[in-house]
Structure 1
């Protein structure tokens, strides 16, 4: 393969990653029309790699391509969240069950270390730190379960969840509730109670969805 064929591929991948970050930070908010020309001018590129990048994001569900109307950042509805979290609960529950069965003593030590970060962040009321440790904990479970198809499915769904305008940890009492749920999950994993780990993880994911629902209702009342 020649260098001239590699360069365009690398370019549109870089553009796709930049656009992901704009979308996840809500600088490109859900429902926003994507001004291709303005972005191309801003990045100093032609519209061809930009359009290739948008096709990648469309395949991930982050943008929606509408014939004769252009490209829009995907809007995620309450129904979308209900359906996505239902699938996430199944997948992450399976992941926790498999982890309880396969985890080595070293794996469990690693999970305990990550959980210590959750405890520290919660004590400091550090929502961003808690979120990062939470993500690390769930990712560690996926790596221990070692099912690449399961991991890919979870990653794809989590990308779409990021389109939500709200974050469940901002709900009153949710951080403390989430920490308590993590303690129970870790205890089940440590004791290698696979069925309990699955049940508790499903409940944890569903609890996160319920928290998002409460935030949405509260904001609708204010509006």
Structure 2
């Protein structure tokens, strides 16, 4: 008999939301899949009340779509949806890149340099380190946003990136995309280290334009 997943002793619906979020990001629950509330509640050993609260959280994040009299489904994003998400991310993260280039301390630039070096190493390690590459890529972008120091921008980008992750693997697994992404990161790092806000913003916009093309 399989052991039930152990949930940490914090707000139960938050733990359930994170459990489902990770299943969605790993494609265990794929876009379009119906979420079987009864089965999931039984597997987790919980009532359906915290599960439904968790689904509301995921629906607010755009990861789950609630359908009247049909229940909850993992969100299927249209081509337009993804174009809209990438457009907003390009605007917000380009603005953050400019702010980082202008205001980051030497120590903060060193942090970004270290993350970029780890990203390079993961990319060159091949398929075995692919998940590490995905995680480091996200850490690099989020650290740049934190350094740019606008919590509202960070909050919006964090939510948008959750939707983007529904299709992240599709884009980065395309032949040559990881190498291209890495080259774009190098160009971005150069602009940031040269403290050139306009160039940093331009490189970030180009990065998202390439990402959208790969995701299409």
TM-score by length of 2: 0.90
Aligned counterpart, 2:191: 188
What SS does the corresponding residue of 2:140 show, helix, strand or coil?
A: helix
CA distance, structure 2, for counterparts of residue 36 and residue 120 of structure 1: 41
CA distance, structure 2, for counterparts of residue 8 and residue 51 of structure 1: 18
Aligned counterpart, 1:75: 76
Shift of 1:16: 1.0
Contact 2:86 2:212 in 1 (8 A): yes
**1:10 counterpart = 2:11:** yes
What SS does the corresponding residue of 1:154 show, helix, strand or coil?
A: helix
Aligned counterpart, 2:85: 84
Contact 1:8 1:49 in 2 (8 A): no
Shift of 1:83: 1.0
What SS does the corresponding residue of 2:66 show, helix, strand or coil?
A: strand
Shift of 1:165: 7.1
Q: Which stretches of structure 1, 4 residues or longer, exceed 6 Å deviation after superposition?
A: none
What SS does the corresponding residue of 1:167 show, helix, strand or coil?
A: helix
TM-score by length of 1: 0.88
What SS does the corresponding residue of 1:172 show, helix, strand or coil?
A: coil
What SS does the corresponding residue of 2:11 show, helix, strand or coil?
A: helix
Q: Which runs of 5+ in 2 are unaligned?
A: 1-7
CA distance, structure 1, for counterparts of residue 179 and residue 47 of structure 2: 48
**1:100 counterpart = 2:69:** no
Contact 2:192 2:200 in 1 (8 A): yes
